[in-house]
Amino acid sequence: MVSSRQFYRRGPNQRDQHPVTFSDVRRKFGFRSISIGRWVTLAERDRAAGLFYDALADLMSILQGPETLISLRETLSFQYGIGGRPGMLAFYEPASRTFSLAKNAGPGSIAHEWFHALDHYLADKAFSDTSGTMYASEAWLRDATPVPHPLNDRLFDCFKSIMLDEEGGNPSELFRISCRADKANGCVYYSDPAELCARAFEAFVQDASISNNFLVAGTKATEEARMGLYPTGEHRQRINAAFSEYFTCLGRALRVNSCIANQQSAGQHT
């Protein structure tokens, strides 16, 4: 439970240690809405708000983007302590564009679920023939029709680095191990492209110089990691480089667009 655990964090001071609320979180990042479950106590809510604020600010710093990247241009909603599912206490819901974390299981899952939201958000920006429920990673694997753009090319490089080997002609070892795990379990989960890419993104975030195990944890010393279900070695480095290139360029583009929008708004009021 958030209120009874200590979380490791190493990074820049994001808020001068002053108390924050979920209203502050919403205003800071521009979430469309934030909902808190009725069973979350006031003490749990207050402590969780600070932890989430720091985690999302750390994610923003790692990705080198503005606040609107975190809320996906104010289209993303967030729930805490609402909608837990059996065996799925942290999840992203495409229909409502909401990511949800249960109060007893959310810590360490933020990066994973946020990437699901980004992956879904990008589908119709990166491809011209996707359905409303499709993720960009799945569309790429299914050879959907790409929308030409330099940012999309860099996104596709991320997917390629995760799902294909270094030569680009065969499935990566991560993909093969994930398929074997799914075969043993009798279901498709680990090898689903959205799950593969979310786990790879977790590894990228955990390898950053900023550390926050409320944001991400488990890509190095868990049973899943020991099974090879997270990227390792040279493959991990290659994925991290692709993500770094993509988010550096994405953050630069978003800041430029924001600056232009602010200038236009200022001009309308003069």
* 113-136 pLDDT per residue, tens: 999 999 999 999 999 999 888 999
In-domain check, residue 5: no
For range 11-31, the mean pLDDT: 88
For range 83-101, the mean pLDDT: 79
In-domain check, residue 256: no
**pTM (predicted TM-score):** 0.92
In-domain check, residue 230: yes
In-domain check, residue 199: yes
In-domain check, residue 167: yes
Nearest to 196 by CA among 181, 210, 214, 206: 181
In-domain check, residue 266: no
Residue 98: what are its φ and ψ, rounded to 5°?
Answer: -130, 135
d(C-alpha 117, C-alpha 99), whole Å: 7
In-domain check, residue 260: no
With a pLDDT cut of 70, the percent of the chain lying above it is 89
d(C-alpha 226, C-alpha 257), whole Å: 42
30-42 pLDDT per residue, tens: 999 999 998 889 9
In-domain check, residue 4: no
CA 71, 74, 77 angle in degrees (round to 5)?
65
3-state secondary structure of 173: helix
Overall number of domains in the chain: 1
187-208 pLDDT per residue, tens: 999 999 999 999 999 999 999 9
Q: Which residue has the higher pLDDT, 151 or 84?
A: 151
Domain holding 111, by residue range, is 13-250
65-79 pLDDT per residue, tens: 999 999 999 999 999
